[in-house]
Structure 1
Amino acid sequence: MSLVFTPSRIRLALGAGLAAALILSTAGCKKKAAEPDQPKPVMAVEVVSPQSHEWSQRLEASGNVQPWQEAVIGAEVGGIRITDVKVNVGDVVKKGDVLATLDPDTLRATLAQRDAEVAQAIANFAKAKADAERAEQLDKTGSISQQDILQYRTAASTAEAQLKLARAQSDVADLQLRYARVVAPDDGVISARSATVGAVVSAGTELFRLIRDQRLEWRAEVPGDLLGPLQVGMHAELRKPESTTIVEGKIRQLAPTVDLQTRNALVYVDLPKDAGLRAGQYVEGWFELGKQAVLSVPESAIVLRDGHDYVMTLDDKNVAHELKVTTGDRHGDDIAVSGDLTTKTRVVKSGGSFIGDGDLVSVEAK
């Protein structure tokens, strides 16, 4: 039997085929929608866990190195010319060493004049005293008035006072002559010199500065609210400028006040004489506050965002999460951290700044 394809049958067959194609196409789309593409890791990372340590707790500080005490040495007499300067900056001197000399000729002449005045005053006093004694003898005979006796007594007292004054002035002149030798008031090192040969100095003019006993101190600036743990005698360490050398010192004194502008207080640290530091140097250092249990991560794990420190942690599906932390002391390449993390927390070791919160990553095999 032969099939006859009439126009109506052809249209019916085409409609059925189109419907079947649409059904198959819809089924295929539903199958694709039910199976979405899996997200790809944004990058491969190395994972570490925070480590537990017993670290020395430190309080970091910075400040200037200054003389423990700096003596200003000046001229004790004025109007005298400097004839010799015996020391220069950096010279170590002993107490009593001559630093400079002033021209003594004028001072010697003054002393000679005062000595002559003393001799004259002695003679005047001797005469006045003898006159008063004769008047006392005449008083017994009634041959002298009481007014004359009083005048003789007054003249003797005045002459005695003038003698004392002349002797005092002679002592001053002698002292000024000794001041012609400018001497070191204590052991130390010369830190400044303004004396020059030929200059005429005034009384009180600064000639030298002396660091007493060659002692220096570190004046560390510490925030006032962190002074609590610090005590006199506590150990301190300084790092020499442009060097890895560490200098040790001890706290001698804590300032009783806090600066109103900076809110910092000064901590005075005694330094050894062989520290190799110079007055005026700005150095950084720290104070040892004892042991403290800390968690640490590699410093490369710290991510700075919006002025805060973070680490990127991973969950069991390797999805990254941003965790805010507080950083502390550094030991080598590690840094102390505190926050919502434990020794089992999985932390991205480096490259965290390229990872966003919620990103999927792959973990490199160790």
Structure 2
Amino acid sequence: MKRSTLVIALLALVIVAIAAVWLVRKPSGTPAEQAAAAKAKDAKDDAPGPKPALTVTVAKPEATELTVTLAANGNVAAWQEAVVGSESNGLRLAEVRVNVGDVVKKGQVLAVFSPETVQADIAQSRASLAEARATAADAAGNAARARTLQATGALSQQQINQYQTTEQTAKARVEAAEAVLAAQQVRGRNTQVLAPDDGVISARTATVGSVVAAGTELFRLIRQGRLEWRAEVTSAELARIAVGTPAFVVSASGAQVRGKVRSIAPTVDPQTRAALVYVDLPTVLQNTGVKAGMFARGDFDLGRSSAPTVPQASIVPRDGFNNVFVLQPDNRVSQIKVQIGRRLNDRIEITSALPEGAQVVVQGAGFLNDGDLVRVVAATPPAAAPAPAPAAAQPAKPAASASVAK
């Protein structure tokens, strides 16, 4: 009885297990419902994750050698300006031979005064000199005869002294007449106004027919045509500049020239706390577009230094700040404000700190927002220049020609 009861219990347990398995595997609902459930399950399995907002390229900051410059402003002026005036008084200006902008050499005649009055004075001085010399000769003869009679006692000592005094007075009058003649000859040479140095005429007030007084300005001359840029540099930056430092000057007209520091002012203006730095520029004869009196800005080249740079396309200006987008490990971007510095071609210096090993977005940075998911692709290399077309094959020589060549 016990054995039969145990067999029946085992059979009942097996039957219950088979029924449970059949109930679990049996599909529930109608066939349409079963098909919809299967399709929803497949769609759920195939559903993708969040889509990237943009396809971008990234690049790491690179150390680039950049020039260190110091910006300044100032005026362009003549190195030295000579004033050419009249040394004669009361003469009429008969001829003006140069005008503004003319290049002149030292000793060149710039203007000529009417010489008639001076020539008449020279002739009068020569006649006075001849008369003085004749009087001096007569006085010298009388004095000589008086000295021969001194031993005989025919003349008194007073008379002899009188003849000697007359002789000396006549000689002095000759010297005075010679000095007057020399002065008149100088006036004659001064009828021609000469250039004191090589240079360029920058101003002219001489007018033909005018009668000018001595010392009246007739011309202004830029000596040797040399120009200089007088840059104003603050006292804090003055120590960074030395004589011989190269400078790059841009005038208000857009003309660009290179110069070199010639000297630095020994004093600082107590009002502006700035000192003048004198930079030699190309001469006006080279016609560089820079003229005396212009305002110009420029940069002093202080050397070179290495600094981290990023492509210009990665800098995104927003809300008055410069930003870059840094790629995160989960392919999302983080917006970071940066400070920029010098530029070299298409690269910009980053003066603020970036995370170590940061990769900044280059292409597509301007269309991103903080936290966007992106897809990174390799940067497209620049297109290579097309290869030259191969030379056309030469046609084969005909057999007859080949045989002739042989």
CA distance in 2 between partners of 1:365 and 1:178 (Å): 90
Counterpart of 1:241 in structure 2 is 252
CA distance in 1 between partners of 2:126 and 2:356 (Å): 91
CA distance in 2 between partners of 1:152 and 1:271 (Å): 71
Residues 347-366 of structure 1 correspond to what in structure 2 (within 5 A)? 361-362=371-372
CA distance in 2 between partners of 1:82 and 1:235 (Å): 46
Counterpart of 1:106 in structure 2 is 117
Question: Aligned pair in 2 of structure 1 residues 295, 322: CA closer, same or farther (>3 Å)?
Answer: same
RMSD over aligned CA atoms reads 3.5
Are the equivalent residues in 1 in contact too, given 2:109–2:195 (CA < 8 A)? yes
Question: Aligned pair in 2 of structure 1 residues 160, 329: CA closer, same or farther (>3 Å)?
Answer: farther
Residues 1-366 of structure 1 correspond to what in structure 2 (within 5 A)? 50-243=61-254, 246-262=256-272, 263-272=274-283, 273-274=285-286, 275-296=288-309, 298=312, 300-301=315-316, 325=339, 328-332=341-345, 334-341=347-354, 344-345=357-358, 361-362=371-372
CA distance in 1 between partners of 2:373 and 2:267 (Å): 54
Q: Once structures 1 and 2 are overlaid, which stretch shifts more, 263-272 or 72-81?
A: 263-272
1:97 Cα deviation after fit = 2.2
TM-score of the superposed pair, with normalisation by structure 1? 0.73
Question: Aligned pair in 2 of structure 1 residues 336, 322: CA closer, same or farther (>3 Å)?
Answer: closer
Q: Once structures 1 and 2 are overlaid, which stretch shifts more, 207-216 or 334-343?
A: 334-343
1:127 Cα deviation after fit = 2.0
Aligned residue pairs total 314
CA distance in 2 between partners of 1:225 and 1:294 (Å): 23
Q: Once structures 1 and 2 are overlaid, which stretch shifts more, 223-232 or 100-109?
A: 223-232
CA distance in 2 between partners of 1:223 and 1:363 (Å): 49
Question: Aligned pair in 2 of structure 1 residues 224, 302: CA closer, same or farther (>3 Å)?
Answer: farther
- In structure 1, stretches of 5+ residues that fail to align are 1-42, 353-358
Question: Aligned pair in 2 of structure 1 residues 208, 166: CA closer, same or farther (>3 Å)?
Answer: same
1:135 Cα deviation after fit = 2.2
TM-score of the superposed pair, with normalisation by structure 2? 0.66
Cα deviation per residue 1:165-218 (whole Å; 9 max; x = unaligned)?
A: 111111111111111111222222211100001111111111011122222222
Cα deviation per residue 1:115-146 (whole Å; 9 max; x = unaligned)?
A: 11111211222122222222222222223333
CA distance in 2 between partners of 1:135 and 1:247 (Å): 83
Read off the aligned partner of 1:173 and give its amino acid letter. Q
Counterpart of 2:16 in structure 1 is none
Counterpart of 1:38 in structure 2 is none
CA distance in 1 between partners of 2:117 and 2:106 (Å): 27
Larger Rg: 2
1:314 Cα deviation after fit = 6.7
Question: Aligned pair in 2 of structure 1 residues 130, 341: CA closer, same or farther (>3 Å)?
Answer: farther
- In structure 2, stretches of 5+ residues that fail to align are 1-52, 377-406
Q: Once structures 1 and 2 are overlaid, which stretch shifts more, 106-115 or 179-188?
A: 179-188
CA distance in 2 between partners of 1:304 and 1:264 (Å): 37
Larger RCO (CA within 8 A; separation ≥ 6): 1
1:228 Cα deviation after fit = 2.5
Question: Aligned to 1:122, what secondary structure does the other structure show?
Answer: helix
Question: Aligned to 2:236, what secondary structure does the other structure show?
Answer: helix
Are the equivalent residues in 2 in contact too, given 1:49–1:343 (CA < 8 A)? no
CA distance in 1 between partners of 2:181 and 2:356 (Å): 86
Question: Aligned pair in 2 of structure 1 residues 278, 199: CA closer, same or farther (>3 Å)?
Answer: same
Are the equivalent residues in 1 in contact too, given 2:93–2:209 (CA < 8 A)? yes
CA distance in 1 between partners of 2:151 and 2:373 (Å): 129
Are the equivalent residues in 2 in contact too, given 1:111–1:170 (CA < 8 A)? yes
Percent identity, please. Answer: 41
1:315 Cα deviation after fit = 9.7
Cα deviation per residue 1:319-360 (whole Å; 9 max; x = unaligned)?
A: 66666x5x54333465434344466457798xx9xxxxxx96
Cα deviation per residue 1:62-106 (whole Å; 9 max; x = unaligned)?
A: 222222222211111111111111111111222222211111111
Read off the aligned partner of 1:261 and give its amino acid letter. Q
Question: Aligned pair in 2 of structure 1 residues 276, 217: CA closer, same or farther (>3 Å)?
Answer: same
Are the equivalent residues in 2 in contact too, given 1:222–1:267 (CA < 8 A)? no
CA distance in 1 between partners of 2:221 and 2:231 (Å): 22
Are the equivalent residues in 2 in contact too, given 1:311–1:348 (CA < 8 A)? no
